[in-house]
């Protein structure tokens, strides 16, 4: 088994795209669940979608959650409150950038790394260059 990954975004299409990219980079070896948009398909977040994604990606090895912005953090924290204490202990909410963090986390998880190692790999996304420096 591997660490599971949850992608929480205000946009369903964004969440699915990030999951698709990360999934390809990990060669499908990692469960990546998405919670994007509201229940009616609008831009926003949904506690029910986050709870379902947490359930889908749940792993004995742990689950890493990556988010886009704002209320995604609050909604994810509320969804975590619905879990029992043992499940909560196996979830880390990452502060990593969404795309870079998801790709790095998926690759690290596919190598069989621990939850802490996967979270640290995701955080390395903060340091990834995005252009040429003069």
pLDDT of residue 59: 96
* CB distance 77 to 47 below 8 Å: no
pTM above 0.85, yes or no: yes
CATH of the domain at 86: 3.40.50.510
Helix (H) or strand (E) holding 64: strand 63-67
- Predicted local distance difference test score (pLDDT) of residue 86: 93
**Structural domain contains residue 133:** no
| Dist. CA 68–CA 64, nearest whole Å | 14
Residue 134 pLDDT: 64
Mean pLDDT (10-residue bins), the chain, 134 residues: 96 98 94 97 96 97 96 96 94 97 98 98 90 70
* Residue 122 contacts residue 62 (beta carbons within 8 Å): no
Of these residues, 3, 4, 8, 10, which one is catalytic? 10
Is 134 part of a structural domain of the chain? no
Q: How many domains does the chain have?
A: 1
Cα–Cα distance for residue pair 102/94, rounded to 1 Å:
10
Host domain of residue 96: 4-127
- Is residue 132 among the annotated active site residues? no
Q: Does residue 132 belong to any structural domain of this protein?
A: no
């Amino acid at each position: 088994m591997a660490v599971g990954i949850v992608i929480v975004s205000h946009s369903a299409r964004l969440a699915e795209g990030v999951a698709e990219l990360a999934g390809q980079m990990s060669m499908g070896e990692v469960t990546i669940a998405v919670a994007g948009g509201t229940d009616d398909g609008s831009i926003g977040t949904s506690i029910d979608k986050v709870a379902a994604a947490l359930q889908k990606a749940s792993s004995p090895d742990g689950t890493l959650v990556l988010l886009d912005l704002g209320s995604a953090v609050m909604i994810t924290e509320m969804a975590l409150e619905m879990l029992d204490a043992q499940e909560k202990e196996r979830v880390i909410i990452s502060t990593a950038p969404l795309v870079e963090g998801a790709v790095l986390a998926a690759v690290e998880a596919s190598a069989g790394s621990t939850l802490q190692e996967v979270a640290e790999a995701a955080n390395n996304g903060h340091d990834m260059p995005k252009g040429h420096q003069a």
